[in-house]
Amino acid sequence: MSTPSDELPEGEGEVRSPEQLAEDTVVSHVLDAIRGGESPDVVPAQSTVIGFAEFLAADAELDRRAPETVIEPSLERIAALVDVLGDPHRGYPIVHLTGTNGKTSTSRMVDALLTEIGLRTGRYTSPHLQRVTERITIDNRPITPERFVEIYRDVLPFAEMVDAKLGTLSKFEVLTAMGFSAFADAPVEAAVIEVGLGGRWDATNVADGNVAVITPIGLDHQEFLGTDILGIAREKAGIIKPGAVAVLAAQDKAVAEVLLERCVEVDAQVAREGAEFGVREREIAVGGQRLTLQGLAGTYDDIFLPLHGEHQASNAVLALAAAEALIGAGPRQPLDPDAVRAAFAGVASPGRLERVAAGQGVPTVLIDAAHNPAGARALATALTTDFRFTRLVGVLAVMRDKDVRGILEELEPVLHEVVVTANSSPRVMDPDELGALAVEVFGSDRVSVEPVLATAVEQAGELAEEAGESGVGVVVTGSVVTAGEVRALFAKEPL
């Protein structure tokens, strides 16, 4: 007969010894001290408490470096780092993406397409919604916290060498080198790399993309990139390298001319949305949309994309053209249509008009990472065309360095009321200040101020329910940080 200490509690795994339990308790206290906040992170199912504590400690170390919003017009440090690491960014073909909006969704779609046609892929995107491991994925899955720590420890001695010689590397530079290294170690057969900020001087631009994808360009990060949209276009055009294929989203005429000038300068091939490829048909469907896409190699019909908004249809055809360009698909050898359909049908883009709650008698809750006027405009259009809300309440937390009035003005026509709040970022606009701006745009009777994000979401739900139980919703937006924290509130796992 077994003793109580030998028994396995129902539904539990191995029983831990008193010493192990004590150790876990101590580390749990450490974890709580490290993470804190209104919606603290939780230990992933595949990680131990100790392993996750090590991950959080490594991330905290990275946070002591210059933030990724700090851009210096030089690739000297990152070039030195990848050089001492053995040029891990040279071992696989690259699809490199920049633009103002749509980069992450398009990156995920390119990744899905390349995976479905049989390539082992790596993907590097930023910023993350909930956990920094989201930024480095292998085979369409984020690396584990334990693997993050391994890569960090491998890269750190070399980073410290560069720190000592050329000045301290930024967090983004180290993360970029970690991504390149993870892909080389895997090894991957193709990498999808998203620019962090800008293009020419972004740390990712130490790599030479075989395909350079440029999503729509508008104004954002003006404090770093300026307000001259043509100057911003020139910065972003810097990812187009000699001999590459440039896959260009539809742009304002003057922006398009800047991009084409760069293509001529470096002898890059050009593929343009609306000319060489484009969306031929779009039909709203339950849970997304059904598309017919004209790619570089042919037409692909009956594609279901489980994402909302015309902008996501454009992202999809941009991704299709990029994947075709990378593998050299053409009219005589197009991609397998069934593989294209399967890839798009399985795409997820967390925090992009993502439904996190719905059901009988409760408001639908959507989250979207729109953080500039162009993103807010795309969100507003999608809310109008793809949904039929009788009452829609917004929850808004925005960074103070954004065009906040522009965001508010784009959202005002589609929101019945707005609850302004704050997220955990030190850059977030004070709720009272945001509320005053919102009153100027919406009027005082349509604006509420609630400093605590979780409470703001609850309040928005109650306001929506005043219109009844059917056709009411809440949309939470204004920042990637806001979207990520609300995903956590609804217990969504990082993807």
pLDDT above 70 for 117: yes
Give the span between the Cα atoms of 50 and 267, in whole angstroms.
52
| Per-residue pLDDT tens over the stretch 358-387 | 988 889 999 999 999 999 999 999 999 999
Q: What is the pLDDT of residue 218?
A: 83
Q: What is the pLDDT of residue 38?
A: 53
Q: Enter the tokens of residue 468.
A: 């009844």
Average pLDDT, the chain: 91
pLDDT above 70 for 9: no
Residue type, 417: E
Q: What is the pLDDT of residue 8?
A: 36
Sign of CA dihedral 436, 440, 442, 445: positive
Closest CA to 460 of 384, 394, 400, 376: 394
Task: Looking at mean pLDDT, say which of 52-66, 213-227, 426-440 comes out highest.
Answer: 426-440
Give the span between the Cα atoms of 28 and 466, in whole angstroms.
42
pLDDT above 60 for 233: yes
Kind plus residue range of the DSSP H or E element containing 366: strand 362-367
Q: What is the pLDDT of residue 47?
A: 84
Model pTM greater than 0.75? yes
Burial class (CB in 10 A: 0-12, 13-18, 19+), 153: exposed
CB 364 within 8 A of CB 473: yes
Q: Which pLDDT band, with edges at 50, 70 and 90, does 39 fall under?
A: low
CB 453 within 8 A of CB 345: no
Give the span between the Cα atoms of 395 and 420, in whole angstroms.
6
Closest CA to 113 of 95, 136, 127: 95
CB 391 within 8 A of CB 467: yes
Count Cβ neighbours within 10 Å for each residue of 48-61 and write b for 16 or more, e otherwise. ebbbbbbbbebbee
Kind plus residue range of the DSSP H or E element containing 491: none
Helix axes 171-185, 49-63, angle to 10 degrees: 130
From 70-79, 115-124, 303-312, the region with the lowest mean pLDDT: 70-79
Q: Which pLDDT band, with edges at 50, 70 and 90, does 41 fall under?
A: low
**Max CA separation in the chain (angstroms):** 82
Q: What is the pLDDT of residue 71?
A: 73
pLDDT above 50 for 12: no
- How distant, in Å, are the alpha carbons of 176, 230, 482 from that of 195? 10, 18, 21
Q: What is the pLDDT of residue 24?
A: 62
Expressed in angstroms, the distance from the first to the final Cα of the chain is 45
DSSP assigned state of 227: S
Q: What is the pLDDT of residue 21?
A: 61
pLDDT above 60 for 326: yes
Q: What is the pLDDT of residue 3?
A: 39
Residue for token pair 């790599």: 207
Q: Which pLDDT band, with edges at 50, 70 and 90, does 5 fall under?
A: very low
| Per-residue pLDDT tens over the stretch 54-106 | 999 999 999 999 987 777 889 999 999 999 999 999 999 999 999 999 999 99
- How large is the average pLDDT for residues 419-438? 97
- How large is the average pLDDT for residues 236-262? 97
Q: Residues 6 or more apart from 443 whose CB is under 8 A from it?
A: none
CB 182 within 8 A of CB 147: yes
CB 480 within 8 A of CB 129: yes
Q: Which residue has the higher pLDDT, 50 or 152?
A: 152
